[in-house]
Amino acid sequence: EAGVVQSPRYKIIEKKQPVAFWCNPISGHNTLYWYRQNLGQGPELLIRYENEEAVDDSQLPKDRFSAERLKGVDSTLKIQPAELGDSAVYLCASSPPLVEGANGELFFGEGSRLTVL
């Protein structure tokens, strides 16, 4: 079974340029997450989708970040314009339907490493 697929793996851009990351979750996983991992830190949640609906985007910097999950499968995370501080690894994860007491495992992609110059 294929895992979570992300692209591109690496991206180098100049500040003020736009950038987009794509994620294809594991088939059947209705919950999709975007995390940001800064150097030397743990991942921090940006946004969580349940199917097509963004149910938690409280940590997404909405002035420059946007995300979409059309048709409840693939997702795209966009930054426009990028700033130096956006340099990080952007991780996508998915999980099967959340059920009380039988949850918790997130399946992560390999990440997209962004460098903003």
User: Is 101 among the residues that bind another protein (CB under 8 A)?
Assistant: yes
Residue number, 28 or 42, with CB nearest to another protein:
42
C-alpha to C-alpha distance for 25 and 43, rounded to whole angstroms: 18
C-alpha to C-alpha distance for 99 and 78, rounded to whole angstroms: 30
# chain residues binding another protein, by CB under 8 A: 26
CB of 29 to another protein, least distance (A): 13
Beta strands of the chain (E only): which ranges?
A: 5-7, 10-13, 19-24, 31-37, 44-50, 53-56, 65-68, 75-79, 88-95, 107-108, 112-116
Given candidates 69, 86, 95, 114, which one binds another protein under the rule CB under 8 A?
A: 95
Q: Between 46 and 85, how does the x/- string for binding to another protein read (CB under 8 A)?
A: --x-------x-----------------------------
CA nearest to 5, candidates 26, 19, 20: 26
Residues that bind another protein (CB under 8 A): 3-4, 40-45, 48, 56, 91, 93, 95, 98, 100-111
